Amino acid sequence: MVEAAVNSRITLLLVILLAALGGYIYLFEMQSDEDESSRPDELLYDRAYGEYDIVELEILGPQGKAHFVRTDQTQTRDWEMLQPDSLPPDRVDQVRVNGAATSLSHLTSSQVITGVADLAQYGLDPPDLTVTFTISDGQKITLLTGAETPVNDSRYLRIVDGDQSVYLVLGFAVDNVHRLLDEPPLKPTLSPTVTSP
């Protein structure tokens, strides 16, 4: 009888210890997961640039070159296209060009790969695109875009004149820039409506 009571107390004590240990591990793991998921992506530049900070955008790829500059001739400092065709702001799809420039202005990286010796394995030698944008203070930043990652809809990217680090950035930001070269951002023209008599 006494032995049964001692055994049940030991069993109860072990259950309590096991529950406490399980609770500790659960809370520790949950906290670790929260820290990992709430960690913000790292900004690629020394600061994020505003919408009007980028004043020139050049894109060079195997299929050609696109070149855009902001003009002071419009109240909203719209983009005009210099290449592949020379087009004034009213002929350029401002939403697409501004969207691509804004994506570039505050690019963040979800992962940094340092000490890269072979850039070709990331599609960076040669790069898909060479993208140079000019900031309003005259600073130029040149990016090389590479291959898509196997998962997570990201792309490899490198900053010229930086170290040999390769960054993983969101694919859509780079894809927006690709499209400016593949499909020039011409403002859609409205077809005249034909009315029957």
| The pLDDT value given to residue 28 | 44
The answer to the question of residue 178 being in a domain is yes
Residues 86 and 28 in one domain: no
Residues 94 and 176 in one domain: yes
Residues 34 and 47 in one domain: no
Q: What share of the chain is helix, strand, coil (3-state, %, to 5)?
A: 35, 30, 35
Residues 10 and 92 in one domain: no
Residues 84 and 135 in one domain: yes
Identify residue 96 by its one-letter amino acid code: R
Residues 69 and 111 in one domain: yes
| The pLDDT value given to residue 160 | 94
Residues 73 and 162 in one domain: yes
Residues 48 and 34 in one domain: no
| The pLDDT value given to residue 6 | 56
| The pLDDT value given to residue 141 | 94
| The pLDDT value given to residue 72 | 85
Residues 28 and 53 in one domain: no
* Backbone CA torsion sign across 11, 14, 16, 18: negative
pTM: 0.73
Cross-sheet strand order for the sheet of 79-83? 79-83, 64-70, 54-61, 129-135, 140-148, 154-159, 166-170, 111-113
Residues 25 and 51 in one domain: no
The answer to the question of residue 102 being in a domain is yes
Quote the CA–CA distance of 37 and 108 in Å, as a whole number: 15
Residues 173 and 106 in one domain: yes
The answer to the question of residue 197 being in a domain is no
| The pLDDT value given to residue 193 | 59
Q: Print burial letters for 90-102: b (CB count within 10 Å at least 16), e (below 16).
A: eebbbebbbbbbb
Number of domains making up the chain: 2
The answer to the question of residue 170 being in a domain is yes
The answer to the question of residue 192 being in a domain is no
The answer to the question of residue 191 being in a domain is no
Residues 64 and 151 in one domain: yes
Cβ count within 10 A of residue 110? 15
Helices 171-182 and 94-105: crossing angle, nearest 10°? Answer: 140
DSSP codes, 140-185: EEEEEEEEEPSSTTEEEEEETTS-S-EEEEEHHHHHHHHHHHHS--
Q: Give the CA-trace dihedral at 43, 130, 96, 75, to 10 degrees.
A: 80
pLDDT tens, residue order, the chain (197 aa): 656 665 667 776 565 655 655 555 544 444 433 333 334 588 999 888 988 999 999 999 998 999 999 998 888 899 999 999 999 999 999 999 999 999 999 899 999 999 898 999 999 999 999 999 999 999 999 999 999 998 888 999 999 987 789 999 999 999 999 999 999 999 877 655 556 55
Instruction: State the residue range of the domain holding 27.
Output: 2-39
> From start to end of 33-180, where are the E strands?
42-43, 54-61, 64-70, 79-83, 108-109, 111-113, 129-135, 140-148, 154-159, 166-170
